[in-house]
């Protein structure tokens, strides 16, 4: 009996972070093998925690025909040798190469999870090329798992595949959220006070937090512009930015960078291995992204008891219920973002109600083990390969 489940990602950080814990869970029911590009530290961490076999096949994240063909060739022969029951890919490049190789190798069940569509931001010839590649990926898969209902609708609208090939697992998300890990009660008041003092945050300050890459398409230009207006006449607000600048990919505007460096109410702490202490000292998440799949940050903030201000994009507008655990605003709208930040600051009763709702709504809908069990049921509905 073949009971092999092969999970493929372009780079190992996707296995290590985005699917953390899920691989070990599935390994109780299947022989799980991870396939991804090699990074020694990531490989070691995944193998020690998840207790699965890892195989190195080098994928690139850019369009690279020669390297892509080499990866396809190697993956095809690997799958022919292993004869897995299921191949399940994540991330765009691994999805395309993984689904083509799995189909050519005769793998009976070929799943691909969609966690976002970067191609939506492109136009012209590049958009047409990316659309074509997307359709190839979907045509080679036997099932596509969009990780949000909004993403499913976008896929159907763009005619990438038929609706009957699409399924959203549980209520969305690729891996759910571990609410026992993201819990503000784990942090002592003294720890929070010390962190605030080290960052120049007083007990009277209302702290807005953003967690993620500090790039244009995360809405940072709009966020900083809105906060500049909000903080101009207030001395009791802070904006806490947790994440790296990526000037080579999607750089911020020059005036945005200058404001971050000169506004004393903006605190940028760079990338952090553990973001929970920063959520624990914050009052509200502001996440004005242009596009997402199903953002972990919004679930993390909710699990930590924070209401969120998010843009009306797929994923965000499913996690946040207007007025219950946050506010939803249009994309790229500085004025309405400012208004939402002002409302959440000045309406104490509504703010407290949303704070109380936030963790419960996340636990009820996105608890990690629930998502894992729903995916396992999908696998087990296939029967067994004898």
Per residue of the chain (386 residues), what is the pLDDT tens digit? 679 999 999 999 999 999 999 999 999 999 999 999 999 999 999 999 999 999 999 999 877 899 999 999 999 999 999 999 999 999 999 999 999 999 999 999 999 999 877 766 678 888 888 889 899 999 999 999 999 999 999 999 999 999 999 999 999 999 999 999 999 999 999 999 999 999 999 999 999 999 999 999 999 999 999 999 999 989 999 999 999 998 887 899 999 999 999 999 999 999 999 999 999 999 999 999 998 878 999 999 999 999 999 999 989 999 999 999 999 999 999 999 999 999 999 999 999 999 999 999 999 999 999 999 999 999 999 987 64
Q: What per-residue confidence (pLDDT) applies to 213?
A: 94
Answer yes or no: are the C-beta atoms of 206 and 238 closer than 8 Å: yes
C-alpha–C-alpha distance, residues 205 and 282, integer Å: 9
CA end-to-end span of the chain: 4
The helix (H) or strand (E) run that includes residue 179 is none
C-alpha–C-alpha distance, residues 326 and 319, integer Å: 9
Buried/exposed code over 229-268 (b: 16+ C-beta within 10 A; e: otherwise): ebbeeeeebbbbbbbebeeeeeebeeebbebbeebebbbb
What is the number of other CB atoms lying within 10 angstroms of the CB of residue 25?
A: 17
| Of 136, 144, 240, 133, nearest in space to 192 by CA | 240
Side-chain half-sphere CA neighbours of 257 within 13 A: 11
C-alpha–C-alpha distance, residues 286 and 310, integer Å: 6
Q: What per-residue confidence (pLDDT) applies to 27?
A: 97
CA 259 to chain centre: 27
Q: What domains lie within the chain, and their CATH numbers?
A: 4-176+368-380 (3.40.50.2000), 184-366 (3.40.50.2000)
Beta strands at 284-287 and 4-8: parallel, antiparallel or unpaired? unpaired
Side-chain half-sphere CA neighbours of 294 within 13 A: 26
The predicted model scores a pTM of: 0.88
C-alpha–C-alpha distance, residues 79 and 143, integer Å: 18
- Cβ burial of 350 (10 Å; 0-12, 13-18, 19+) is middle
Residue in this structure with the two tokens 């005036």, named with its chain if needed: 255
Residues 320-323: contacts with CB under 8 Å, at least 24 apart: 321/361, 323/350, 323/354
The helix (H) or strand (E) run that includes residue 281 is none
Tokens describing residue 330: 């249009």
């Amino acid at each position: 009996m073949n009971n092999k489940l092969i999970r493929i990602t372009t780079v190992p950080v996707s296995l290590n972070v985005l699917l953390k814990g899920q691989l070990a869970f599935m390994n109780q029911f299947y022989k799980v093998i991870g396939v991804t590009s090699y990074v020694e530290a990531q490989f070691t961490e995944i193998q020690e925690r998840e207790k699965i076999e890892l195989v190195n096949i080098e994928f690139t994240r850019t369009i690279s025909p020669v390297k892509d063909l080499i990866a396809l060739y190697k993956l095809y022969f690997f799958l022919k040798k292993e004869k897995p029951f299921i191949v399940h890919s994540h991330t765009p490049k691994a999805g395309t190469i993984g689904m083509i190789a799995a189909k050519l190798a005769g793998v009976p069940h070929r799943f691909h999870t969609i966690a976002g569509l970067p191609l939506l931001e492109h136009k012209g010839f590049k958009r047409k090329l990316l659309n074509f590649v997307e359709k190839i990926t979907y045509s080679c898969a036997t099932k596509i798992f969009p990780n949000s209902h909004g993403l499913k609708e976008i896929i159907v609208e763009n005619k990438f595949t038929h609706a009957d090939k699409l399924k959203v697992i549980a209520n969305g998300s690729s891996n759910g959220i571990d609410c026992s890990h993201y819990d503000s009660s784990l942090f002592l008041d003294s720890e929070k006070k010390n962190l605030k003092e080290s960052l120049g945050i007083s007990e009277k300050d209302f702290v807005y937090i953003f967690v993620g890459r500090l790039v244009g398409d995360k809405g940072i230009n709009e966020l900083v512009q809105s906060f500049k207006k909000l903080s101009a006449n207030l001395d009791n607000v802070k904006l806490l930015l947790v994440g790296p600048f990526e000037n080579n990919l999607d750089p911020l505007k020059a005036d945005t960078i200058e404001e971050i460096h000169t506004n004393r109410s903006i605190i940028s702490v760079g990338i952090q291995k553990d973001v929970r202490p920063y959520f624990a000292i914050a009052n509200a998440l502001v996440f004005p992204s242009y596009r997402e799949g199903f953002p972990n940050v919004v679930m993390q903030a909710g699990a930590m008891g924070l209401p969120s201000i998010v843009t009306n994009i797929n994923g965000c507008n499913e996690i946040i219920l207007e007025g219950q655990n946050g506010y939803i605003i249009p994309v790229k709208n500085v004025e309405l973002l400012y208004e939402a930040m002002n409302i959440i600051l000045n309406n104490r009763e509504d703010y407290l109600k949303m704070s109380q709702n936030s963790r419960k709504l996340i636990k009820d809908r996105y608890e990690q083990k629930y998502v894992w069990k729903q995916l396992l049921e999908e696998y087990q509905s296939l029967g067994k390969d004898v």
